[in-house]
Structure 1
Amino acid sequence: MTVQQPTTSAHIATGFDWTRDEWLAYADRLLDTARTHASPGGGRIHFPGAEGGYGHAVDGLEGFARTFLLAGFRIAGARGEGTEDLADFYRRGIVTGVDPEAEDRWVRLDEHAQAKVEAASLALVLDMTRPWIWDRLDEVTRQRVIDYLAPVVGDATYPKTNWLWFRVVVQTFLRSVGGPWSADDIADDLALHDVLVRDDGWISDGFERSYDHYVGWALHTYPVLWSRMQGAEELAGGRTPGDIARLDRFLQDAVTLVGADGSPLVQGRSLIYRFAAAAPFWVGAIAEVPSVPLGQLRRAANAVVAHFGEAGVPGEDGVLTMGWHHEWRELAQSYSGPGSPYWAVKGLLGIALPADHPVWAADSVPLPIETGDELRTVRPAGWVISGTQSDGIVRIVNHGTDHAADGSLVGDSPLYARIGYATAAGPLANQRAFEEPLEQSVALVDAAGRATHRAAMDLIDVRVQVGEGGSVGIAASVSRAHWIDPRPSAQRHGSGIDGDIEIAGLIEVHSLVRGPWEVRLARVDSLEPGVDAASLRLRVGGWALAAASFDDASTDAAASVLAKGLSSSIRPLLGDGETSVATREDASPLGPVAGVPLVSFPVEPGTWSATLVELTTEDLASSADAAHVVLDEDGDQTTATVTWPDGTATTSRLAHPGSPANR
């Protein structure tokens, strides 16, 4: 459900209307730099930087295959004209890559699983650029390419995630060139994709509660690109209109998740792919979705890419680093190498559309955040989205996504399991953040300083309430709060840490959202036998802000952090809360020092606490003196009347565990 809030004047950003030539210039800079880092035979591209967890050879394959994606978009969009040197360069690399005797040959699919990912890029672009690359390869090389890709057939070791599309794409290409393929493999993979489909166009990246940018840049992108491969229409069996309908519905949410400065949501794994978040908007243009105008799709894609361009991405050397606005290795997965960030080029997919495509001539349509406030839900993910035009920030409160299996007890991934994410603030993501929930959390903290985790929480409610005083977004969850003694792990793929579990009790959390504010109601429903309430504190964390330095603007009534023109504050509204600010160094992708405002309450099972959590710009930050909450409990029913900082009052009925959610 979505509610568009009234607005007065629209502030329209002016930097999001690149011409096609400007898009090409950005792409060409990345491609020109990539070519300077090629191996002697051209089969690998090794960007500068520390070796990835999968080794030097895999790094070089990633560098080649991922920039080959961009080269393919460039060549296809130009219909081969003026791109002869580029095609020659990558043809030479292919010849070397599949030569078993070459020193810089490609890592084979039966040597390392990562080659299965890169093989999909190779196959997709070989199909997309067939007249200019595949058709001009010699027969020996063509057969070697087929032999290189062939191990995909019958391989049952592919993870049951977005990887399913890697096998579909490769086998579709193999089928088109007379290579081996399996109809059963493709049917199984398409069936798996359909099992992962959720409501409202959203798709889970596997069987865990995994909702992130992979929904757009993989699970919606590949079905559309695959449907245009040679022979795919026959294999699709009429499924493509349904895929496009789901994409169309997803994009209605996706355009609201872009901030006014173009930033995507800082949430989920693989954030080093940065502007790959623009890919689904271009895919929408390719698929000609009916509900989101071409001019808005182009603007959304442009906003995302321009956001990073204006932040200095790539750097002066033309290389994409592992980080967000700057290099920060902690943001990458442990296996990532210097070539990994080049999946970002998916966000430049639009250059595959020729100059006469109508997307380039369409009138620019502002983003939703540029024309008004937005309040809507993403029910499968348990999110409420709140975008505010006045400060240009998009925020979500999260009560259903944690990258964990339903019912499991694991550590909270800071990239998934926090209560809030935004376009203007990032989660703490260093090793300590995986072990200790701090920002955007409600945790029981014991005398030793251990904080509980909430994954896998149970979603209670997610909805938008429309009533007197305006609309309020509501989301809620209950968790078996648990401490975790982590086990060592060599790989980090996005999930929280594993370890020995000690259950503390049940915590119920409700988020009431309006504009830049969240009223967070929390209650310890019960404690485990032997857990002493007097030895615990209930700690509630606000938004983390990071910069070279920050100002602590706390008062007795609230804890506040100011950084980069932003204000993050938290204040107690119910309960005997004590405020403080925690500092973390080298913990955030957005700056070297992070500050987190906190409120800490005594633990009284069955008693509610309430905090007001705010993220906005410094000039719009409220004193919040007028804000307060009144709870009315009548048996199993709880009603919350909130007076917001702007003086508006709303009343909401809360859904508790075991009771029907008010949706």
Structure 2
Amino acid sequence: MQLPPDDLHRSPRTGYTRAHWETAADTLLAAVEPYATEDRALYHFPGGRESVSGRLSDGLEGYARTLLLAAFRRDERALERYADGLAAGAAGVWPRIEHRSQPLVEAASIALALRLTRPLLWDRLDDGVRQRAAAWLGDALHAEAWPCNWELFPVTVGGFLAEIGHEPEASAKAIDRGLERIERWYRGDGWYTDGDGRKFDYYNGWAMHLYPVLHAWLAQDERLMEMYGGRLSRHLADYARLFGADGAPMHQGRSLTYRFATTAPLWLGALTGRTPLSPGETRRLASGALKYFLDRGAVDHRGLLTLGWHGPDFRVLQGYSGPASPYWASKGFLGLLLPADHPVWTATEEPGPAERADASTPLAAPNWLLQSTRSDGLVRLHNHGSEDVRYDPFYTRLAYSTVTAPSSSYDNSVIVGGDPSRTEIEPLGVGEDWAASRHRSGSGGAVTSVVLARGAVEVRAFRVTGVPEGTEIRVTGWSADAGTRSELAPAAGLSAPVDEPAAPEPAGAVTTDPGLFVVLARLTAETDPEPLAEAATVEVTGTDEFVVRWTDGPVRRVRLDGSGVEVT
């Protein structure tokens, strides 16, 4: 992708300006055009993979998600092409919107795009085309959604149809129904779960906040804006910490192939004025993520977004991922709705949280501890509250980072009796430098876990009960990637460490004595860190108690028992 020269005066961190975002959008839109059908209603991208919904639905997905990009870019010539596709698609080419069907998802992108560009696209269509398109979209008002972020797709369609006066009563009901349903998943502090359970990931930003806030903003509904905008602002205070200094988002959760869609809530906060972030920090984080992926092969030689993370990588895909799925990255171009003279485009870039200082940040709602280090720009997420067994290993590992991916060798796990399963995760609390949880192992035992963090160093402790003496228990650390170093050293009750395993195998230590055991762990990109064993000493003071003495910091006393975890 040929981008403008870097502007290191305005953007000393990334070099990116609005011109870079515009060029990226234009290049992506130009690249997809050859893959449109003759009537422009479907976009069939190569990729060697078809989603579970089938080729026709995948073609609709290609239309809808790239239309969203054209809408954010407000590209009138491109929108003319999509107008042709809308006329053909609504006349019978597109599959109908049915209960829990993929076209419901794509209808939301189409409706949002039409609402955002109404003077440029919708208002210029013939009456017959508008009637057929509204009728096709109207099925979304009555379609049952999957009980997750899908509940917001009828809301988004309803918002547009209500605006144009199509089925106003049904549209209002669809909006109220969807917004009411997501309330049961709000956990406070700006965090939602993606449906029942404790599924915390990027769907918070690119779905659970995006659609309600945009609807409230477009409808000029002050009551809804106060509620959903306030939640977004609170969320962004945490969300900004999920990006590494190199621009990488946290490698956790599902649908990671959407890549820089992670920037959507950052732009949304600036667009609506509901953000704690400065304009320079907002653009630095967003541009950092776009640059991160463009520099690492997210776009192939044809100019197409690939199915994967950097380049093609089927490990990050789900069954619903088809050739056009990556184009939900279009959400990342939301910032182009801001005028060129908006402070988010004119301000000088400011460093993000990972660049400012070492920090351990507790997030109470998901029961996460975020650990970032300025010296190497890494961010680590200690997961003591998020779980979705459908998408393991991207939910159930003990830790994730901005520079590593879950390994097939079960990094960041407690493997009891040869079984690495971690289910029924029960949060036990977080503090300024710690997080704890309890889970059920596949062998039937119960594992209570706590992590304490200082700088890049972690103290991880586990208490395993309910398994026979002689059961092998293996604790693993980080799976190191290129340019990083993983270490793990037993501090109590474990042996046989692998201090520096061959990448990407995780470091590990073992025991056959269920009970309390402790390790020191570290993931770092520093070339010459202090010896891990010198960072802290650990003294076990009872069957469920130990003391951590940080060499350059405080003394922490920890108790793990049947009632929970106490850190003082």
Instruction: Bin the TM-score by the shorter chain.
Output: over 0.9
Residue pair 1:640, 1:651 contacting (<8 A) in 2 also: yes
The CA deviation at 1:289 is 2.2
Inter-CA distance 290–125: structure 2 relative to 1 (3 Å threshold): closer
Paired AA for residue 533 in structure 2: D
1:16-53 per-residue CA deviation (whole Å, 9 max, x = no partner) reads 24221111001111000011211111001111112222
**Residue 88 (structure 1) aligned to one of 57, 80, 88:** 80
Is the contact made by 2:498 and 2:507 (CA closer than 8 Å) also made in structure 1? yes
Relative distance call for 1:479 and 1:599 in structure 2 (3 A) is same
Q: Which residue of 1 aligns with 2:525?
A: 617
* The one of 208, 212, 215 aligned to 1:223: 212
Residue matched to 2:3: none
Q: Measure, in 1, the Cα distance between the counterparts of 2:81 and 2:172.
A: 34
SS in 1 for 2:440: strand
- The SS at the match of 1:416 is coil
Aligned length, in residue pairs: 555
- In the TM superposition, what are the counterparts of 1:439-518 in structure 2 within 5 Å? 439-445=411-417, 450-464=418-432, 473-483=433-443, 503=444, 505-518=445-458
Aligned to 1:289: 274
Picking from 455, 469, 473, the partner of 1:538 is: 473
Q: Counterpart of 1:658?
A: 563
Corresponding position: 1:520 with 2:512: no
Q: Secondary structure at the match of 2:506?
A: strand
Residue by residue, what CA displacement relative to the aligned partner does 1:124-146 show, whole Å, maximum 9, x if unpaired?
01010001110111111111111
Q: Deviations over 1:485-532 (max 9, x none)?
A: xxxxxxxxxxxxxxxxxx2x21111111111111111121232xxxx4
1:641 aligned partner, one-letter code: V
The answer to whether the 8 Å contact 1:412/1:453 transfers is: no
- Deviation per CA, 1:385-441: give whole Å up to 9, x if none: 11100010000111111126xxxxxx881101110010011112xxxx4xxx72101
Indicate which of 95, 110, 121 corresponds to 1:133.
Answer: 121
Q: Which residue of 1 aligns with 2:34?
A: 36
Change (3 A) 1:113 1:376: same
Shift in alpha-carbon separation, 1:84–1:476, aligned structure 2, 3 A: closer
1:662 shift after superposition? 5.8
Instruction: Determine the C-alpha separation between the residues in 2 that align with 1:333 and 1:48.
Output: 17
The residue that corresponds to 1:372 in the other structure is 357
Aligned partner (choices 11, 18, 21) of residue 20 of structure 1: 18
Assess, with a 3 A threshold, how the Cα gap between structure 1 residues 318 and 640 changes in structure 2: closer, same or farther: same
What CA distance in whole angstroms lies between the structure 2 residues aligned with 1:326 and 1:16?
Answer: 21
What residue number does 2:55 align with? 56
Residue 107 (structure 1) aligned with residue 95 (structure 2): yes
Number of the residue aligned with 1:250: 235
What is the match of residue 311 of structure 1? Answer: 296
Equivalent in 360, 367, 372 of residue 382 of structure 1: 367
The alpha-carbon deviation at position 298 of structure 1 amounts to 1.4
Contact 2:179-2:212 within 8 A present in 1 as well: no
Note if 1:179 corresponds to 2:179: no
Please give the secondary structure, in 2, of the residue aligned with 1:266.
coil
**Deviation, structure 1 residue 190:** 1.2
Shift in CA distance, 519/164, structure 1 to aligned 2, threshold 3 Å:
same
Distance 1:218 1:237, change over 3 A: same
Q: Deviations over 1:242-279 (max 9, x none)?
A: 21111111111111111000000000000001111111
CA contact (8 A) 1:461 1:655 kept: no
Q: Secondary structure at the match of 2:51?
A: coil
1:601 paired to 2:511: yes
Report if the CA contact (8 A) 1:209-1:401 is conserved: yes
Distance 2:344 2:438 in 1: 45
Structure 1 counterpart of 2:129, one-letter code: T
2:385 counterpart (387, 393, 400): 400
Equivalent position amino acid for 1:597 in 2: A
Name the structure 2 match of 1:214. Answer: 203
Residues 272-291 of structure 1, C-alpha deviations (whole Å, 9 max, x = no match) = 01111111100010111252
Cα separation, 1, equivalents of 2:511 and 2:350: 47
**Aligned-partner residue type, residue 119 of structure 1:** A
Equivalences for residues 400-439 of structure 1 within 5 A? 400-403=385-388, 413-428=392-407, 433=408, 438-439=410-411
What amino acid is the match of 1:476? A
Q: Give the distance between the partners of 1:311 and 1:576, measured in 2 at CA.
A: 39
How big is each residue's C-alpha offset from its partner over 1:338-369, in whole Å with a ceiling of 9 and x where there is no partner? 00010011111111212132321223221111
Quickly say closer, same or farther: Cα 1:13–1:353, change in 2 above 3 A.
closer
TM-score scaled to structure 2, two decimals? 0.93
User: Is contact 1:633-1:639 (8 Å) kept?
Assistant: yes
Residue of structure 1 equivalent to 2:192:
203
Give the structure with the higher percent helix.
Answer: 2
Question: Percent of aligned pairs with the same residue?
Answer: 35
Distance, in Å, in 1 between the alignment partners of 2:95 and 2:499 is 49
Q: CA–CA distance in 1 between the matches of 2:541 and 2:501? A: 37
Q: What does residue 642 of structure 1 align with? A: 549
The AA in structure 2 aligned to 1:62 is: E
Structure-1 separation of matches of 2:492 and 2:385 = 25
CA gap 1:173/1:272 in 2 versus in 1, 3 angstroms: same
In structure 2, give the amino acid aligned to 1:337. Answer: G
CA 1:370–1:580 in structure 2 vs 1: closer, same or farther (change >3 Å)? closer
Please give the alpha-carbon distance, in whole angstroms, between the structure 2 residues aligned to 1:299 and 1:343.
Answer: 21
- 1:460 touches 1:655 (CA, 8 Å); kept in 2? no
Q: Give the drift of 1:309.
A: 1.3
Q: Distance in 1 between matches of 2:295 and 2:231?
A: 32
Q: 1:348 to 1:572 in 2, by over 3 A?
A: same
Query: Residues 221 and 280 of structure 1 are in contact (CA less than 8 Å); yes or no, is this contact kept in structure 2?
Result: yes
| Distance verdict in 2 for CA 1:330–1:653, change over 3 Å | closer
Q: For residue 462 of structure 1, report the CA deviation from its aligned partner.
A: 0.9
Partner Cα distance (1:365, 1:511) in 2: 31
Q: 1:382 to 1:643 in 2, by over 3 A?
A: same
Instruction: Render the CA deviation track for 1:149-187: whole Å, top value 9, x for unaligned.
Output: 1112233x2122111111101012112222222433322
- SS of corresponding position for 1:573: strand
Whole-Å separation in 2 of the counterparts to 1:178 and 1:325: 43
Counterpart residue number, 2:313? 328
1:460–1:661 Cα contact (<8 Å) kept: no
With 366-375 and 186-195 compared, the bigger mean Cα shift is at 186-195
Find the aligned partners of 2:448 and 2:99 in 1 and give their Cα distance.
47
Deviation per residue, 1:307-351 (Å, 9 max, x gap): 111113212211111111110112111221100010011111111
How far does the alpha carbon of each residue in 1:216-240 deviate from its partner, in whole angstroms, 9 at most, with x for none? 11111112211233xx34xx57121
Aligned match for 1:161, one of 125, 135, 148: 148
What are the ranges of 5 or more consecutive residues in structure 2 without an aligned counterpart?
1-9
Note closer, same or farther for the CA distance 1:509–1:111 as it changes in structure 2 (3 Å cut): closer
- AA at the equivalent of 1:519: V
